[in-house]
Structure 1
Amino acid sequence: MSLKDEYVAKLKAQLDEWSADIDVLEAKVRKADVELRAKYEEQIAALKEKREEAKVKLSEIQASAGEAWKELKKGSDEAWEAIKNAIAEARKKFNE
């Protein structure tokens, strides 16, 4: 397995984990009272947007030829870090 394939596999696994996290948070939103629900729904929407951005980066990496993926990896790492932090922050807020 090439470094690119390993990196793509890692990103796919992380996306699956984040999707599961978002599903759990959505379930909590459904149980929240009306006041909190709107606030939480905004956060869920933002998380989904970040997840979609990450999917786009993943697609770009998968479609890249040769060593070009290494350049894309830099931008991708930043996007992945942003969603990781956003999900961690959301978990904290939803568990308050």
Structure 2
Amino acid sequence: MSNRDEFVEEMKARLDEWNAEIDELTAKARQASDEARVKYQEDIEQLKKRQAETQERLDELQHASEAAWDTVRKGMEDSWDLMRKAFRDASSHFK
């Protein structure tokens, strides 16, 4: 397996982990009071938006030419950093 394939597989695995954690946060939000649930839902929607953007970057990465690989990989890493920050911010509200 090439470094490129390994990187793509790692990103897929991370995205799957985030999806599972978003599902957990959604379940927690259902247990919250009405007022808190509204805030939690806003956070979850933001996470889903970042998740969709990250998935788009992953799709681009999988189909990138060798010439575009480094640029697309950088975009994926940037998207991942934004996703991680959004998740940290949202998770802090659930504690």
TM-score by length of 1: 0.94
**Number of the residue aligned with 1:80:** 80
Cα deviation, 1:8-50, whole Å, max 9, x if unaligned, reads 0110010001001100000010000001111110110010000
Measure how far apart 1:65 and its partner are: 1.7
Cα deviation, 1:62-90, whole Å, max 9, x if unaligned, reads 01122421111111111100101111221
**Number of the residue aligned with 2:90:** 90
Identify which range, 25-34 or 80-89, moves more after superposition: 80-89
Please provide the CA RMSD for this pair: 0.9
Equivalent pairs, count:
95
Identify which range, 70-79 or 20-29, moves more after superposition: 70-79
Unaligned runs of 5+ in 1: none
Unaligned runs of 5+ in 2: none
Mapping of residues 36-51 of structure 1, within 5 Å: 36-51=36-51
Q: Percent identity of the aligned residues?
A: 41
**Number of the residue aligned with 1:15:** 15
Runs of 4+ more than 2 Å apart:
none
DSSP-derived class of the 1:9 partner: helix
**In the aligned structure 1, how far is the partner of 2:87 from the partner of 2:27?**
15
